[in-house]
Amino acid sequence: MIDIKLIRENPDLVKENMKKKFQEHKICLVDNVLNLDSKKRKIKNNIDNLRMERNNLSSQIGALMKENRKSDAENMKSKVSDINQKLSILESEENSIATEIREIMLKIPNIIHESVPIGENDSKNVEVQRFGEPFVPDYEIPYHADILESFSGIDLDAARRVAGQGFYYLIGDIARLHSAILSYARDFMINKGFTYVIPPYMIRGDVVTGVMSFEEMDNMMYKIENEDLYLIGTSEHSMIGKFKDQILKESELPYTLTSYSPCFRKEKGAHGIEERGIYRIHQFEKQEMIVVCKPEESYEWYDKMWSYTVELFRSLDIPVRTLECCSRRSSGFKSQKC
């Protein structure tokens, strides 16, 4: 979530960023936030003035009681009581507006980096670099699910009977290969100096809203019935939540972590769950890189993490190409009106 100070000081920048991300329908959210923020600050000013007046009256009550002027003191107490009632109403209104502002702020997109190409679909992505060239055989490449089935390594039919569409059984050597690749990625990152972490696979609602928008949450995450818990869609969610409400020592930065987790996703709004393959599925496993660093070092670490990714795949002799993804990301989310 961006800092509200940026919206106060440069609302046009925030609006222009929405245009670059092809989210013009959200521009009105900026004006909504500014109007609500102005109301909230006026209420806060009234609250501060009333609290100051209450403090002054309270001091006078003490002095009057010492002078045995009980009648005057009771009048002052009545004024304090009136102020407390006004404060209760104003504080409730302030909290309500603050909640509304936060809900809107979660819908306002972050400012994109200047290097991001502007475009409304994947055709506007820019290829930056290639590492190795893909081998193209002179025969038709089988579908990945057919390859897995040829090794008796997957059972999609049984998974559908047990859990429904979007799940799978991995079997035998394919299951072993799956685990081996995860272990290889884990050890690769440990050798880069990252600390291995296995995080919680469920997180509370306040952590969810700290790492994604309401739209993303509704489209991605499974909620545990009658519990304030959600299954993670990626270990990033609980790893970022690890630092919630913490003051980190600058001397201990950066934290470089590599985390493993199973991931659970609804894939609501996706372009259909594949019936044969294992792409856009509800359950899978990942090895992640998480870095918490000083803001001024963030792009340097971004480059490092990107280079580690390339190095990992090239160490397996897998060709890699780097793309600068364009400013609009296909999400399947519905447009919203202010």
The pLDDT value given to residue 123: 87
Give the Cα separation of 144 and 9 in Å (integer). Answer: 52
Top CATH class of 4-105 equals mainly alpha
Q: How confident is the model at residue 251 (pLDDT cuts 50, 70, 90)?
A: very high
Q: Which residue type sits at 53?
A: E
Residue 269 has pLDDT above 70, yes or no: no
Enter the tokens of residue 231: 């299954």
| Mean pLDDT across 222-241 | 92
Looking at the chain, the whole-number percentage of residues with pLDDT higher than 90 is 64
Residue 268 has pLDDT above 80, yes or no: no
The SS3 call for residue 292 is: strand
* pLDDT per position as a tens digit, 9-47: 999 999 999 999 999 999 999 999 999 999 999 999 999
Residue 333 has pLDDT above 50, yes or no: no
* pLDDT per position as a tens digit, 151-204: 999 999 999 999 988 899 999 999 999 999 999 999 999 999 999 999 999 999
The pLDDT value given to residue 331: 47
| Mean pLDDT across 228-248 | 92
CA 102 to chain centroid, in Å, comes to 14
Beta strand 154-155 with 169-170: parallel, antiparallel or unpaired?
Answer: antiparallel
Look at 153-162, 210-219, 259-268 and tell me which has the smallest mean pLDDT: 210-219
Q: Which residues contact 158 (CB under 8 A, 6 or more apart)?
A: 169
Topology (CATH level 3) of domain 135-141+171-318: BirA Bifunctional Protein; domain 2 (3.30.930)
The residues spanned by each domain of the chain are 4-105, 135-141+171-318
Q: Which residues contact 84 (CB under 8 A, 6 or more apart)?
A: 54
* pLDDT per position as a tens digit, 292-328: 999 999 999 999 999 999 999 999 999 999 888 898 8
Helices (H), 109-244: 144-150, 156-163, 172-191, 205-211, 214-220, 235-241
Looking at the chain, the whole-number percentage of residues with pLDDT higher than 70 is 93
The pLDDT value given to residue 276: 63
Residue 334 has pLDDT above 50, yes or no: no
Enter the tokens of residue 42: 């006026």
* Sheet arrangement for strand 255-264: 195-197, 255-264, 283-292
* pLDDT per position as a tens digit, 59-87: 888 787 777 787 877 788 888 899 999 99
Give the Cα separation of 23 and 16 in Å (integer). Answer: 10
